C-alpha cells in the first residue's frame, strides 16, 4: 500500500507548470465521454443483475415449464 501511495504523491507533487492551450470543445467532449461511460455501465449492471436474478430463480425452482415465473404458492 505504501508504494502506490508514494507513486501517486510523486506524480501529484512533482508537477511542473505547463503553458498549454486547451481547446474549449475539449471539456464538452470529456463530459460526453464520462456520461456515456456512466450510462453504459448502468445498462450493463441492469442486464447482469437481471441474469443473476433469473439464474437464482431457476435454481430455486420458481419457474414453470412454460418459461414464465410461477406465482402460485405450493
| Number of domains the chain is built from | 1
In a domain, 53, yes or no: yes
Lowest mean pLDDT among 13-22, 44-53, 58-67: 58-67
Tell which wins on pLDDT, 33 or 16: 33
73: in domain = no
Domain presence at residue 16? no
The continuous run of DSSP H or E covering 55 comes out as helix 25-60
Does any domain span residue 3? Answer: no
The pLDDT tens digits of the residues spanning 18-57 come to 777 777 788 889 999 999 999 999 999 999 999 999 999 9
Domain of 40 in residue numbering reads as 27-61
Torsion sign across C-alpha atoms 37, 42, 47, 53: positive
pLDDT at 65 over 90: no
Query: Does residue 50 lie within any of the structural domains?
Result: yes
- Put simply, whether the predicted model's pTM sits higher than 0.85 gets the answer no
On whether residue 18 sits in a domain, the answer given is no
**Which comes out higher in pLDDT, residue 5 or 66?**
5
Amino acid at each position: 500500500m505504501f508504494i502506490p501511495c508514494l507513486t501517486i504523491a510523486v506524480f501529484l507533487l512533482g508537477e511542473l507548470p505547463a503553458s498549454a492551450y486547451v481547446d474549449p470543445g475539449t471539456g464538452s467532449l470529456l463530459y460526453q465521454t464520462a456520461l456515456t461511460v456512466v450510462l453504459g455501465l448502468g445498462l450493463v449492471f441492469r442486464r447482469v443483475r437481471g441474469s443473476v436474478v433469473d439464474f437464482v430463480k431457476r435454481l430455486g425452482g420458481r419457474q414453470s415449464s412454460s418459461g414464465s415465473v410461477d406465482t402460485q404458492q405450493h
